[in-house]
Structure 1
Amino acid sequence: MCLILLSWQNDPEQILTVAANRDEFFQRPTLAADFWPEHPQILAGRDLEFGGSWLGISRSGRFAAVTNLREVEASGDRSRGDLVKDFLLSAETSQDFCEGLEPEKSQYRPFNFITSDGDKLCYTNNIEAGWRTLAAGIHAIGNIPLSEKNAKTQKGYQDMKVVMAEKPSHQDLLNMLQDTKPTMDAEEDIYRALSCRFVSFNEYGTRSSSVVSASKTGQWDFWEKRYATSPTQEEALQHFSFAEDKQQ
């Protein structure tokens, strides 16, 4: 997952709105978003290489997502996708989970990690000490620490701010995620491609877009659009909807 745009407690009717793109090598085996057979409270895509996920929600009203940190040397070999899975299965608050993660962060591959338990939205990474609770508003998380900015995250922030002001539909958010304009005028094709919101470069690119919406009444909606990565595949859009169950 290379770009996560969030609107948190920024609307009188919506607690959380997420628009995110997952960028990955086309050959990496992946399952589309669904409720997991062995953990039916989790709704998420699944990475079949390590078993975790890049973004997901739970029936109890929890949200988690990760991105990698590009150009950061790995200090550990644990999969960052496990963070999403472990938080969604946990009953801990976002704050307690991030606090408990502190001693173990170096064991994971480089990550940005964001969580919501419905009350707080928290962020951490494993190249900086500590974690933070995010204020109400718009946030853009890319492949750099949240404390830094680049043209891709800044444009994402501005576009999300504009779109959210217009009470967007899920299709409006999906359309925004498919922006193919480079945000970097680099000489090398790979860097121009990676600076786009929708990435397409040889055997690597945007595999799927996700839109998540959580209302003040406890209604959750999850749309996932999967893109064709070979001549034998077709684009596919699926939608899940459920009422939050705090007893899960």
Structure 2
Amino acid sequence: MCLIVLGWQAHAEFPLLVAANRDEFYARPTAFAARWPDTPQVIGGLDLEAGGTWLGVTESGRFAAVTNVREPGVSKGRRSRGELTRLFLQSDISAEHYIAQLDMSEFSGFNLFVSDGHSLYYCSNRHAQAQRLLPGIYGVSNHLLDTPWPKLVKARQAFADALPYLPDETRFFDLLADREQVDDARLPNTGVPLAWERLLSSIFVQSENYGTRASTVLQQKIDGSLRLSERSFGPNGQVLQSSVISTSV
């Protein structure tokens, strides 16, 4: 996943709100968001190649999401980053304890959010210290937390502007669908060719072989119920399906 914007205790009725795009090669086998067959209390998509997920939530209020750090030429980690989210969602340990016991050296560069419903933590194996996040709006793409890449700055502002319209999800999906590329003068320099910097500079990424595979909006209410909405895409941004999974308490 290449863009996550979330609100943690930033709305009186929705303590956790997430708008996220997962960018990946279209050829990588993927299951749409659903309850997991082996652990049906977990809701999220599945990477069918390595068995993990980019974003998931449980009925008990656990949440996890991960992005990669863009660092071309760096050797690949021994374990899939999707394990970071899967193992947390399938456990019952606190977010703080989970972060503390991770061997981060086994993974390629990552950004990870985990919440046990009581606290939200961010960590990266490209940053020295994990952070327990205070109430607010946060974002990450393929660098560190709140790195001011133009796409992330734009997405955070649109996210904040959408909060008053909840529970209507329209504006959150509108921000995730933004395909405007950044002008060359404002592009970050992440070590990939200019054509790729341009392609990846938009919030919604589309091409023949690589792009936004899923747009997800997650609403977790103060009573513990949740709603996860996902829109899935194929090559050149072709819509494949939409789904909504809701729980009640």
TM > 0.5 between the two?
yes
Q: 1:57-76 maps to which residues of 2 (within 5 A)?
A: 57-71=57-71, 73-74=74-75, 76=77
What residue is the counterpart of 2:247 in the other structure?
242
Cα shift at 1:166 = 3.6
* Partner SS state of residue 156, structure 1: helix
Describe the SS at the equivalent of 1:159: helix
Amino acid at match of 2:223: T
Summarize deviations over 1:14-50 as a string: whole Å, max 9, x none: 1111000000001010000111111111111000110
Quote the Cα distance in structure 1 between the aligned partners of 2:245 and 2:11.
22
Matching residue's letter, 2:204: F
Does 1:192 find its partner at 2:174? no
Retained in 1: the 8 A contact 2:109–2:124?
yes
Q: Deviations over 1:210-244 (max 9, x none)?
A: 0100010111100010113389x753110000135
1:112 equivalent in structure 2: 111
Aligned to 2:97: 96
Q: Is the 8 A contact 1:67 1:111 kept in 2?
A: yes
Do the aligned residues in 2 keep the contact of 1:114 with 1:121 (CA within 8 Å)?
yes
Residue identity in the other structure for 2:45: G
Measure, in 2, the Cα distance between the counterparts of 1:76 and 1:211. Answer: 29
Q: Which amino acid aligns with 1:171?
A: T
Amino acid at match of 1:225: R
Q: Distance in 2 between matches of 1:234 and 1:147?
A: 29
TM-score (norm 2): 0.91
Q: After superposition, what is the alpha-carbon deviation per residue over 1:155-193, rounded to whole angstroms, capped at 9, x for unaligned?
A: 111111112244351222111100011134259332111
CA contact (8 A) 2:66 2:112 kept: yes
Query: Alpha-carbon deviation of 1:148?
Result: 3.1
Q: 1:1-248 residue pairs with structure 2 within 5 A?
A: 1-71=1-71, 73-74=74-75, 76-101=77-102, 104-146=103-145, 148-167=147-166, 169-185=168-184, 188-229=194-235, 234-243=239-248
Question: Residues 116, 156 of structure 1: CA spacing in aligned structure 2 closer, same or farther, 3 A cutoff?
Answer: same
Q: Does the CA contact (< 8 Å) of 2:206 and 2:236 recur in 1?
A: no
Q: CA RMSD in A?
A: 1.9
CA contact (8 A) 2:41 2:58 kept: yes
SS of structure 2 residue aligned to 1:135: coil
Segments of structure 2 that go 5 or more residues without pairing to the other structure are: 188-192
Q: Is residue 30–residue 47 contact of structure 1 (8 Å, CA) maintained in 2?
A: yes
Letter in 1 for 2:137: I
Tell me, yes or no, if the aligned pair for 1:8 and 1:137 is still in contact at 8 Å. yes
- Deviation, structure 1 residue 207: 0.7
Runs of at least 4 residues off by over 6 Å: none
Deviation at 1:75? Answer: 5.8
Structure 1's 175 and 129: CA in aligned 2 closer, same or farther, altered over 3 A?
A: same
Q: Compute the TM-score of the two structures, normalised by the length of structure 1.
A: 0.91
